[in-house]
Structure 1
């Protein structure tokens, strides 16, 4: 009977440890998800600012005259 009780107790300890680990992992996943959402928002803002920038006064490479040695 002691052997059965020891096995049950060992299983209970393993389950308790696994529950704690799952909670810690869940907390980390939530933090990373929030960080990812924040970074996606920042990227959207940067892209919208980039698209809003007026074109440069410089001519495009296809419009540039080649250097004299060509």
Structure 2
């Protein structure tokens, strides 16, 4: 299957770091839950259908958003 090679990164990380890799996956999962809750809150504030990048543009200044996105 094309594109499934990134899944082996978790296997390699677990082999290299041992049990600490499970802790890092759990910490990352907690962060992703908070990110998802933030986007859910923004989706309830702006009830129309927009891409996730447009939500940050509507909440912050255009120049800050383009700076964070790396566009010049």
Relative to the length of structure 1, the TM-score reads 0.43
- State which structure, 1 or 2, has the greater radius of gyration over its C-alpha atoms: 1
Task: Identify which of structures 1 and 2 has the higher relative contact order when contacts are C-alpha pairs closer than 8 Å and 6+ apart.
Answer: 2
